[in-house]
Structure formats: C-alpha cells, structure tokens
Amino acid sequence: MGDDKDGDNKGKDFRKLLRVKRGDAVDLGKFDYQETFGRKKDSAEVDLTSVLARLTDLQARIYAEAKHPVLMVLQGIDAAGKDGTIKVIAGAFNPQGTPVTSFKVPTPLEMAHDYLWRVHQHIPAKGEIGIFNRSHYEDVLIVRVHNLVPEERWRKRYEQIRNFEQMLTDEGVTIVKFFLAIDNEEQRQRFQDRIDDPTKRWKFSPSDVAERKLWDQYALAFGEMLGETSTDNAPWYLIPANRNWLRDLAIGEILADTLDGLAPVYPPAAPGVEGTKVV
C-alpha cells in the first residue's frame, strides 16, 4: 500500500493508495483505521455525488453493451459496513444489471459440493455488475478461525482461489475486491448502536459477542488472506472504514476508475433506425 504522507495523498488515486500488493505482510494491528488521506467530510460528500453520477453513466453503458461482466467483492468483519456500502454504491445502478449475492452459512446442498461451487453460480453475466456480500473468502477465514477444516486444507485454498479468479479474468470477468477495515472499538460501538436502535436490533446476534473474542485470530487471517490473494488480475483494496464517508468515496472512485478502464460504449442502433419516424 502507498505510504505517502497525508498532505501528499490529497487528490491522489485511491487505487494507488489502497491497493494491496501480492505478498504484502498486512498487519491490521498497525493499520490506521481513521485515515482520511487529506480528504474532508463536507467536500468528500460533494465529490461522492459526482462519483455516483459517473457510476450511473458507466453502469448504463456496461448494461447496454452487454460485453463486460464485473464482479465487486466486499469482505470485512461483522459491522464493517458491507450492507451500507452496497446501499450507497448499488443505489447508483439499474437493479436489472446489478445482482447482489449475500453468502451466508452454506446450505446442505452447498456443503455437498466443493466450496467454490456455490460461488461460481453467481458470477455476473456479461453486462452485469455483480456484488458479493462476503464470498469464497469465507473459506480461508471463518474455517480457519473456527478450525472447521485442517490447516493443510485451507492453506491450499489460497492458490485455488488465485487460479479460480485467474480463470474468470481470462474469460473476461473484471474483478475488484474491497476489504472494509474497522477497529475493535468501532465495531463495539456499532454493535451497541444496533442494540439501542429498535429498527436495527434484528441485525444483532448474541453470537456477535462471542466472535469479538476472536478478534486477534480474525485480524491475522484477514492480513494473510489479503497478501496471499491480491493479484494483478484481481486486486484487493484495503479500505479504512471507520468513517463511512471516506469508505464510500474511496470505493466509489476505485470502482468508477476501474469501469472507466473498460471503455464501455452504447451499442449501435439496428440498421434503418436512424431517421425513422414513429407514427
């Protein structure tokens, strides 16, 4: 990740600032979850409006052209802001071209297959921008922390996932992955806010408290996952997510810049359409 000072970062490409490089030793214990890169909330909210307008235009062209499948992966610890990110980013898109898949506890049918089986079925089609709320990465995270499979088995999955994503990109899928990073105190406060708000209590489970006790184990698993599976064809971006406004702006800009690189265009009209008068 970029290591420029705050004043030098202002206005720089979030893709350069936040991208994880393959093999990086990501230590979330030393990560600055409050980082703003010189951005201010008021101006960032104005910038986000422009970014969302860009995304609306880009998604409309991608949907019409029906040439590029795009996969956006969101990972993060509980309460990191995955749902909030989807609400903001997907809110700029036509729902017809934006399938959102939330990966929860595997069903018996899914458990009867290999761990990538349920994921492959939800890879977006050409013209779609698919969003994953959690993903195949659960199978090197929760299975590791809870010792659901032997270490020898889950360690092999790093290479398997790299190969899976390489195959997808070889077939034309554009993959962009975001890890939303919040600190321990921010998670505690967000959980408390859920409990205190009658409209959000349904999102809280007593098991959330038990999972918090495994914070250090998750941090280690997250850090290793990021370094092992961020590649040129499917990069990870490590997002400081304590501040929702910074999270939304960074993800919006990175995604818009990525889609811009596809240079999507509206397809030509059918022969004879131009100049036709409808009566």
Q: Which helix (DSSP H) or strand (DSSP E) does residue 9 occupy?
A: helix 6-9
* Alpha-carbon separation of residue 108 from 21, 24, 100, 143, 214 (angstroms): 36, 36, 22, 16, 26
| C-alpha–C-alpha distance, residues 141 and 88, integer Å | 26
DSSP reduced 3-state for 3: coil
List the domains of the chain with CATH numbers. 28-260 (3.40.50.300)
Query: In this structure, how many other beta carbons lie within 10 angstroms of the beta carbon of residue 160?
Result: 16
pLDDT at 4: 44
Q: Which residues of the chain have pLDDT under 50?
A: 2-7
Q: What DSSP character marks residue 181?
A: E
How many residues does this entry show for the chain?
Answer: 279
pLDDT at 5: 44
Q: Can you spell out the DSSP letters for 237-255?
A: EEEE-SSHHHHHHHHHHHH
Task: List Cβ neighbours of 123 (8 Å cut-off, separation of 6 or more).
Answer: 69, 71, 130, 168, 173
pTM of the entire predicted model: 0.94
pLDDT at 7: 45
In tens, the pLDDT along 116-175 reads: 999 999 999 999 999 999 999 999 999 999 999 999 999 999 999 999 999 999 999 999
| C-alpha–C-alpha distance, residues 32 and 53, integer Å | 29
| C-alpha–C-alpha distance, residues 274 and 229, integer Å | 48
In tens, the pLDDT along 143-152 reads: 999 999 999 9
pLDDT at 10: 53
Query: In this structure, how many other beta carbons lie within 10 angstroms of the beta carbon of residue 97?
Result: 19
Q: Single out the residue of 44, 46, 70 nearest to residue 58, CA to CA.
A: 70
Q: Single out the residue of 61, 65, 39, 101 nearest to residue 243, CA to CA.
A: 39
What is the CA angle 145-147-152, rounded to 5?
A: 105
